[in-house]
Amino acid sequence: MNGRRATRVHRAGVRSTVARAWVPLAHDVGRGVLRRLGGRGRSPERPTFAEWDAEPSFSDATWVIGQKPGTLLGTAPMRLMGGHRVTATRMEYVTTDARGRTITATGAYLHSHQQWRGGARPVVAFAPSTQGVAPHCDPSYSMSVGMAVTLRGPVDIVASYELPAITAMLAAGMHVVLTDYPRDPDFGWQLYCDHPSGGNALLDAVRAARHIGLPAAAPVGMWGFSQGGAAVGMSLERGDYAPEVTPVAAVVGAPPSRLDEVLAHVDGSLVTGVLSYAVAGLMVASADIRAEILGALTPDGLDHFTADISTCAVSSVFTSGWRGTARWTHAGVPLGELLDDLPHVAAEFDARALGSRAPGVPVLLWGSRHDDVVPVAQVRDLRDEWRDRGGDVTWFEDRTFRIPGRTGANHFGPYYRHLTHHVGWLIDELRR
């Protein structure tokens, strides 16, 4: 009875922490939206997001020779919306992509000055969900503006919808390190849903943050939802990449463990634009893949692709929302179906699949029964594969009723609905 009471009290404390974190965050975000919609800071031409809020910037992604992964290349102070008693630093560092090439990446180290109750203060390696593949969609930038809107030209909206989770962790006294995910130096496109590259970049962000104040002995928790969930899952499956970064536990939510099935699932939904993000992430993988995809796309498909990858995730609903992609392909079939039939693309899908090895730490894996972005069947399959290989997997499934319209509400809604519970689970594991 006392154990159950302690758990209830702990959950109540986490809920209170989340609520307190939301108040300054909502104030800052609302103030920023009003300022931007009112035109303050706009230039006569369509403004860039950098013109709205001067933020630290680094050079474009480059190839790196002679530098070890995790090497810190540069830092700059950053503003964190809703962040109190936090020192926020944007950083550029070296990482390795899935093909073994060393490249630059960016991310952020958020050093909490809130009290941490119980043992050594931990750090959460945070892999963000899909924000968009354009540079101004990077989480280390969006967290400094909360929300930014431009109505001139194509509507574009920067929305930092990971801030509630990050702010709750910081308010609980945990440090947070996140990655923006690396970009291909030749094209400048994010290596989107390239799970091995994303997992490497997350671990290398932790390595880099140790050069700017993160204690090397800080226990490491991991957190990822959707795109981020797959990056965390891959980093756990490939635990030998950064042996000096030893996680204690991880929360993995709705990971796209089989990307080909996800692309077929979202076609024609409000979030059809993620197909363009996936295409960008595939095309930078190799010249062979690039040739296969470009040869299959119609001019209409190329137009949608170009529009989507230049705007952030919320904005893609205006360019591609609820549109099927059959008109994007010369074969007249949906893009996801066509990609799965291209041999080089299909091989790349296989290389990004999760489930070949079990994580070596306790994992809270969760999915949503009616998820309209990542099919729950593949998340359940991942649960079974990890357990069959000896993984310590706690399973949670959201049972929210199906919300009509294929809006993504059954994907994102459960994330926020169960945020308190999942943060609490991670706190419990990090206190052991």
Higher pLDDT, 417 or 154: 417
Reported as a pLDDT band with limits 50, 70 and 90, residue 57 is: low
pLDDT average, residue stretch 128-155: 86
**134 DSSP assignment:** S
* Residue 62 included in any domain: yes
Domain boundary among 321, 350, 379: 350
Provide the pLDDT for residue 55. 45
Higher pLDDT, 37 or 11: 11
Reported as a pLDDT band with limits 50, 70 and 90, residue 154 is: confident
pLDDT average, residue stretch 250-257: 98
Strand 247-253 with 220-225, pairing: parallel
Distance CA 228, CA 388 (A): 23
* Residue 357 included in any domain: no
Domain boundary among 287, 321, 350: 350
* Residue 356 included in any domain: no
pLDDT average, residue stretch 221-235: 98
Strand 363-368 with 247-253, pairing: parallel
Question: 182: closest CA among 117, 123, 255, 107?
Answer: 107
Indicate the angle between helix axes 259-266 and 343-351, nearest 10 degrees. 110
Same domain, 168 and 69: yes
Question: 306: closest CA among 142, 154, 129, 177?
Answer: 154
Higher pLDDT, 40 or 428: 428
Neighbours of 316 (CB within 10 A): 27
Give yes or no for a contact between 91 and 78, defined as CB atoms under 8 angstroms apart.
no
* Residue 10 included in any domain: yes
Same domain, 124 and 155: yes
Distance CA 174, CA 117 (A): 10
Average pLDDT value for the chain? 88
Provide the pLDDT for residue 323. 93
Same domain, 96 and 137: yes
Q: Give the DSSP H/E element, type plus range, for residue 299.
A: helix 299-309
Same domain, 235 and 341: no
pLDDT > 70 in the chain, percent: 86
Instruction: Mention every residue, 6+ apart, whose C-beta is less than 8 A from residue 300.
Output: 327, 328
Q: What are phi and psi of 344, to 5 degrees?
A: -70, -35
Same domain, 270 and 236: no
Reported as a pLDDT band with limits 50, 70 and 90, residue 81 is: confident
Same domain, 41 and 52: yes
Structure tokens at 89: 């630093």
Q: Is the pLDDT of residue 39 over 50?
A: no
Domain boundary among 350, 383, 417: 350
* Residue 355 included in any domain: no
Range of the domain at 214: 2-257+363-431
Torsion of CA 371, 376, 382, 388, to 10 degrees: 140
Higher pLDDT, 146 or 358: 358
* Residue 276 included in any domain: yes
Provide the pLDDT for residue 79. 87
Instruction: Output b/e per residue, 387-399; b: 16+ Cβ within 10 A.
Output: eeeebebeebebe
Residue 318 belongs to a domain with what CATH number? 1.10.260.130
Number of domains in the chain: 2
Same domain, 190 and 290: no
* Residue 337 included in any domain: yes
Same domain, 208 and 285: no
**Amino acid at residue number 387:** R
Question: 140: closest CA among 189, 220, 83?
Answer: 83
Q: Is the pLDDT of residue 211 over 90?
A: yes
Same domain, 162 and 220: yes
Reported as a pLDDT band with limits 50, 70 and 90, residue 147 is: confident
pLDDT average, residue stretch 377-387: 98
Q: Is the pLDDT of residue 432 over 50?
A: yes
Same domain, 240 and 250: yes
Provide the pLDDT for residue 38. 34
Q: Is the pLDDT of residue 105 over 60?
A: yes
Provide the pLDDT for residue 82. 77
For the whole model, what pTM was predicted? 0.88
pLDDT average, residue stretch 331-337: 95
pLDDT average, residue stretch 338-352: 96
Question: 206: closest CA among 172, 244, 155?
Answer: 244
Provide the pLDDT for residue 48. 44
Q: Is the pLDDT of residue 20 over 70?
A: no
* Residue 358 included in any domain: no
Same domain, 252 and 263: no
Same domain, 228 and 319: no
Q: Is the pLDDT of residue 321 over 90?
A: yes
Residue 168 belongs to a domain with what CATH number? 3.40.50.1820
